[in-house]
Amino acid sequence: MIREICKTEVFLAQKAEAATADDPNTAHDLLDTLIAHKDGCVGMAANMIGVNKRIIAFENGGEYMLMFNPVIVKKSGPYDTEEGCLSLTGTRKAKRFQTVKVQWQNEKFQTRLKTFTGWTAEIIQHEIDHCEGINPSCVSGAFPPRRGKISSRSQPSPSRCSPWSVSWALRCSCAKIAHFRSRLRANTFTVRACCSQRTATACAPRRRRSPRARRRI
């Protein structure tokens, strides 16, 4: 059954649960949805159809493969690239590896181990990132929610928020405002003194140049 593509980033950022023998229907729906989008998609993870299970489907040399609980056990040949995602708009930068060794389970939940290279290896890495909750949008600036405790470095130090520092900041702000007001008063007094003079040359407005006299860029 073809399912709707999930585009909720909060859901995509969640780490997938391990797949079990009760999930073959989800795998078949994932494969059907991938084939339905074959013109613009070469791989999908189960969370892309709204199921938070560790299942991926992808194209491999003209054929489609299903993997339950895939894990990369070895990788080599790092390189940088840009990838698109059916759940997100645009492309995003990513670090991939030319060769990966993957351990997974087939539909009978028999453990398999195989090495993939090139384009197929990149597809597998992208889909496993989905399973890990590594949303591709985090590379473009939209970060998934943090897990675990917040480190002490991210918390403001007490000295920065002490009453003395706050009062000092207020004093500085008040001093700047007072200085600005004094300058404004001085300028106002100068303008009034200038305009009070009767001489024609003191406050005579300058003539504006006609538009024709201006240089065109």
H-helix or E-strand spanning residue 195: helix 163-196
What is the number of alpha carbons within 13 Å of residue 72 lying toward its C-beta?
21
Between CA 33 and CA 14 the distance in angstroms is: 21
Q: Does domain 9-142 have CATH number 3.90.45.10?
A: yes
Q: Could you list the active site residues? A: 127
Report pLDDT for 178: 62
Report pLDDT for 135: 58
pTM exceeds 0.75: no
Instruction: Give pLDDT tens digits along the chain (217 positions).
Output: 999 999 998 999 999 999 999 999 999 999 999 999 999 899 999 999 999 999 999 999 889 999 999 999 999 999 999 999 998 888 889 999 999 999 999 999 999 999 999 999 999 999 999 999 985 544 333 333 333 333 334 343 433 444 444 444 445 555 555 655 666 665 554 445 444 554 444 444 444 444 443 333 3
In one letter, which amino acid is 198?
R
3 state DSSP class of 119? helix
Neighbours of 29 (CB within 10 A): 19
